[in-house]
Amino acid sequence: MPKRKRDGKKTAPEQPKTLLPQKRHYRQRAHANPFSDHALVYPAAPDVMDWDSHYPAFAGTGKTPEFADIGCGFGGLLIALAPMFPDTLMLGMEIRVQVSQYVQDRITALRATSNAPPATDSTIPGPYQNVSIVRANSMKFMPNYFPKHSLSALFFLFPDPHFKSRKHKARIISPTLLAEYAFILRPGGIVYTITDVKGLHEWMKTHLEEFPLFEPVSEEQLREEGKGGILDAVYGSTEEGKKVERNAGEKWLACFRRIEVPRA
């Protein structure tokens, strides 16, 4: 009910307080060891994954995620892309307990409080219904979540550089893992990588160039194909990307397309 001032005039109704979570309540170490035995629950196979519980507004449609943000951090990319592709399901994968809980709480709050206008297509659910997160070790269990050729975009944004040589085996881009990425990515799908560490950029770029099922695609070409919004989000939507900008650092982007026939 509107309140009345002492002079009898009505005041505007109070706006509901935001339910968005605060990062300060989700303290977490910057990195987690992917080789440790974490207490994780994961599906035995993609066909037993209950996606309806993650995307209840899409329940019964048979839709599965098409975009996957690996090591999604605080979910900046997911939140930026969700309104751009309201009918595309997106999944973040994050191994850290508190960080993944923050993203889950953030999505829940956005679904509840968003006042964005409804989509012109009445078959598309409301804002942020198309994003979700799982706490998962993607280096071990990614094939448990995604069937063959189910994804159209894979994102690796500012991954842990693992500077020491003995730690390079923990980098998220490697020949073994690229085979898994090629399996779940449909032909024509794009791998997006970005980092502020030039050595890591060269590492990821070289491994992707040498893998026979990927070919490089330039930023200019992707923008011509209408993927400029995605690229802008890749550059600037994450916590790490914003930190690099504040520190006037450089960012190195490398994108690759999944091809149908292996290169000779």
- For the chain, domains (ranges, CATH) are 41-112+125-161+169-258 (3.40.50.150)
Q: Which residues are catalytic?
A: 160
Beta strand segments in 49-89, E: 67-70
Tens digits of per-residue pLDDT, 130-176?
999 999 999 889 999 999 999 999 999 999 998 888 878 889 999 99
Bridge partner list, 74 = none
Whether residue 157 is annotated as binding a ligand: the answer is yes
Q: How confident is the model at residue 220 (pLDDT cuts 50, 70, 90)?
A: very high
pLDDT of 25 reads: 55
Is 239 annotated in some ligand binding site? yes
209 is in an annotated binding site: no
Band of the pLDDT at 13, cuts 50, 70, 90? very low
Rounded to an integer, what distance in angstroms lies between the CA atom of residue 204 and that of residue 261? 21
| CA–CA dist 200, 252 (Å, integer) | 9
Question: What is the spatial distance between Cα 225 and Cα 218, in angstroms, rounded to a whole number?
Answer: 11
Strand ranges in the chain using DSSP code E only, listed in sequence order: 67-70, 90-94, 131-135, 151-157, 185-195, 214-217, 252-258
